[in-house]
């Protein structure tokens, strides 16, 4: 009888070992998983390589106060006449702008309308200014889009693409008023 028990115990032991070791097809935690590497092809319109190469687009940027205390911003931009842009103004340490003003390039220059806060002229201090241009057909005149190849021909510091691949430009600076 003893001889029949040993082979039966061996068979049961072998079945248990096979079940634990790998019959379930699961890998041990310590074993590295096989990874499949893939490559995504960049769409030509989203490729931003070399966009920042080129001459300065912002040639001058000057926030200033008028006699009545209102603030204006003037400067010179290397964009075609008629290019529409926005300037957002931030108070120190605040994540959102408290004011936005829109302007356009005329003969290579710009001068915004007067900026007055809800309680009168802006207090003296340092402000953060962000100038932004999007080359979208809903924002720019057809002549500007034609001269810039829908913005895709632009190159220089600050030239980029937004999340949807639309050509854009941004510039930021802190100034004391």
pLDDT tens-digit readout, 66-85 = 999 999 999 999 999 999 99
14 belongs to a structural domain: no
> Residues of 40-79 as b/e, b for ≥16 C-beta within 10 angstroms?
eeeeeeeeeeebeeeeebbeebebeeeeeebbbbebbbbb
Q: What CATH code is carried by the domain that includes residue 169?
A: 2.60.40
13 belongs to a structural domain: no
65 belongs to a structural domain: yes
pLDDT tens-digit readout, 14-40 = 545 545 455 455 555 565 666 665 555
30 belongs to a structural domain: no
d(CA 126, CA 94) in angstroms, rounded, equals 12
**Domain region containing 77:** 48-176
pLDDT tens-digit readout, 136-148 = 999 999 999 999 9
The number of domains in the chain is 1
Alpha helices in the chain (DSSP H): 2-18, 142-147
5 belongs to a structural domain: no
111 belongs to a structural domain: yes
């Amino acid at each position: 009888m003893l001889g029949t028990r040993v082979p039966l115990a061996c068979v049961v032991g072998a079945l248990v070992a096979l079940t634990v070791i790998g019959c379930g097809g699961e890998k041990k935690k310590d074993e590295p998983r096989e990874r499949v590497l893939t490559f995504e092809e960049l769409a030509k319109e989203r490729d931003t390589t070399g966009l920042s190469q080129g001459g300065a687009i912002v040639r001058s940027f000057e926030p200033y106060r008028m006699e009545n205390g209102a603030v204006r911003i003037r400067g010179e931009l290397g964009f075609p006449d008629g290019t529409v842009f926005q300037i957002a103004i931030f108070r120190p340490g605040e994540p959102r702008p408290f004011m936005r003003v829109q302007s356009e390039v005329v003969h290579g220059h710009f001068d915004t309308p007067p900026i007055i806060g809800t309680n009168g002229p802006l207090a003296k201090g340092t402000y953060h200014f962000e100038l932004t241009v999007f080359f979208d057909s809903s924002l720019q005149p057809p002549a500007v889009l034609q001269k810039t190849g829908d913005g895709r021909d632009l190159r220089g510091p600050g030239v980029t693409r937004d999340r949807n691949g639309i050509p854009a430009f941004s510039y930021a600076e802190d100034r004391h008023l």
